[in-house]
Structure 1
Amino acid sequence: QHPNPGDKIHKLAEILAMPNPEAIYRSFLSHWKNPEVLVIGSREPPTVLSDRQQWANLPSFMQRMMYLDTVTYLPDDILVKVDRASMGVALEARVPLLERHLVEFALRLPLSMKINKSGGKWLLREILCKYVPRNLIERPKMGFGVPIDRWLRGSLRDWAEELLSTERLQREGYFNPQPIRQKWKEHIVGDRNWQHYLWDVLMFQAWLDA
């Protein structure tokens, strides 16, 4: 592990500089904040995340955030991972909480029944407590991410260095080497944890090399 409180300070500073809650939300969904600087000769096209004209007409930021999660993060990230993981072992997965009538019912519920002072998913938790002991539910959330940061500093370092070399990036002509090399150097020495930024580029590089 390379605990780095400076990382959290940098992230907090970025959030405090955001002009509005929508910008904060978008920053959480994007690794490279200015992708046109990274990808040579590119510009970021408008999407539902950046084009407010495509947003549903909802009264509160919380509801807009839920809407954007529903039309972007859910189908483009969560469900993609479920499909890949299940089909990779020939399983047909189903997501019962996305049954159409249940989704329509959830959308009609007032916000106070979803999020309140006791936390998120309030109604779902209360129903679950009828069948599962509350002490199994009311506890800190635990993720299950893989230690990419350590891998890149250890067993995957040589592999990543080859794919991210300045000469290679210049020769291929897709990426601007400078921001990538800067983040790679800061990550290797432990100044910052740029695992997700670097992994995005590495996956493209590995695909290009296949």
Structure 2
Amino acid sequence: PEIWDAVLGPLRPLLPGSLRAAPGEKLHQGARKLAAERIDDLYLQSISRWDPARLVIGGREPRTCLNGRPLALDGLDGVQRLMALDAVTYLPDDILVKVDRAAMGVSLEGRVPFLDHRVVEFAWRIPQSMKLRDGTAKWILRQVLYKHVPRALIERPKKGFSVPVGDWLRGPLRDWAESLLDESRLRQEGFFNPAPIRRTWAEHLSGRRNAQYHLWGVLMFQAWLKQSRTGQIEPSGYDQKAA
């Protein structure tokens, strides 16, 4: 990914908006998805970080509607099926859980008003050509916004609320992460296969890829395991100001 970032760096202003941030990583993700034989396989690759059978000793992918008994969803094309899978899996089981807990805690309505059944039913009745047109997503919504909001406020890169975990793992949290991902420790505990974790950790430290999401899930389990056994929450040398 970092080689592609360097090659495409001077061309970023000319790239589609979706590729301007971390183009190398997105190209690698896209290449991995080419092996998908079904829309459901493609979707599972998009939301899953690890193959449980490769990572967890004795592990396997849980049976869900994505890899067990597929949802019928008859009459939908590929893009529509991806949207429907989002609506019945990722939306209620992930982002709504997180957003609801954070927003409702301060009496703030975030995504939920858009999920009023009348809004959802209307959205599904809109032709696909009015949602995605010439590479532009949310086309019809943009046309409405253009009438009321300056275009400069709409046509700009999407900004999330993520924190630079990848940089922290290479910096102030490196020793903490290294202790939790120590190969002998992983072998002794007997939950994870150390090889893919150590390889991913080395690639992340070298800067060859940003594996923060892959590593963070493992680190959270390791930190929980340590706390459950020893009662220690903060690692030795943990710099709260830096984190």
Question: Which amino acid is the alignment partner of residue 193 of structure 1?
Answer: N
Q: Give the conservation status (yes or no) of the 8 Å contact 2:56–2:192.
A: yes
Aligned: 1:77 with 2:94: yes
By how many angstroms is 1:156 displaced?
0.6
Q: Give the conservation status (yes or no) of the 8 Å contact 1:58–1:64.
A: no
TM-score when scaled to structure 2?
0.76
Q: Give the conservation status (yes or no) of the 8 Å contact 1:82–1:93.
A: no
Q: 1:12 to 1:117 in 2, by over 3 A?
A: closer
- Residues matched between the structures, number: 206
Which residue of 152, 163, 166 maps to 2:169? 152
Higher relative contact order (CA 8 A, sep 6+): 1
Aligned: 1:92 with 2:100: no
Q: Give the conservation status (yes or no) of the 8 Å contact 1:48–1:54.
A: yes
Q: Let me know the Cα RMSD of the aligned residues.
A: 2.2
Q: Give distance in 2, aligned partners of 1:13 and 1:54.
A: 26
Q: Give distance in 2, aligned partners of 1:200 and 1:66.
A: 26
Q: Which residue of 1 aligns with 2:4?
A: 5
Which residue of 26, 33, 47 maps to 1:29? 47
The percentage of aligned residue pairs carrying the same residue is: 53
Aligned: 1:120 with 2:137: yes
More deviation, 146-155/41-50 = 41-50
Q: 1:162 to 1:50 in 2, by over 3 A?
A: same
Question: Which amino acid is the alignment partner of residue 152 of structure 1?
Answer: L
Map Cα deviations across residues 91-123 of structure 1 (whole Å, 9 max, x no partner): 234321111111111111111121112611122
Q: Which residue of 1 aligns with 2:204?
A: 187
Q: Give the conservation status (yes or no) of the 8 Å contact 2:40–2:66.
A: no
Aligned: 1:161 with 2:160: no
Map Cα deviations across residues 2-44 of structure 1 (whole Å, 9 max, x no partner): 9553753543432333334543332121111x21111111211
Q: Give the conservation status (yes or no) of the 8 Å contact 2:36–2:42.
A: yes
Question: Which amino acid is the alignment partner of residue 5 of structure 1?
Answer: W
Map Cα deviations across residues 109-140 of structure 1 (whole Å, 9 max, x no partner): 11112111261112222222222112211233
By how many angstroms is 1:53 displaced?
2.6
By how many angstroms is 1:74 displaced?
1.1
Any unmatched runs of 5+ in structure 2? Answer: 6-23, 228-243
Give the SS at the match of 1:53: coil
Q: Give the conservation status (yes or no) of the 8 Å contact 2:40–2:67.
A: no
Q: Give distance in 1, aligned partners of 2:101 and 2:182.
A: 30
Any unmatched runs of 5+ in structure 1? Answer: none
Q: Give the conservation status (yes or no) of the 8 Å contact 2:39–2:81.
A: no
TM-score when scaled to structure 1?
0.87
More deviation, 4-13/183-192 = 4-13
Q: Give the conservation status (yes or no) of the 8 Å contact 2:65–2:71.
A: yes
Map Cα deviations across residues 151-177 of structure 1 (whole Å, 9 max, x no partner): 111011011111111122122221111
Q: Give distance in 1, aligned partners of 2:165 and 2:28.
A: 20
Match runs of 1:166-177 below 5 Å: 166-177=183-194
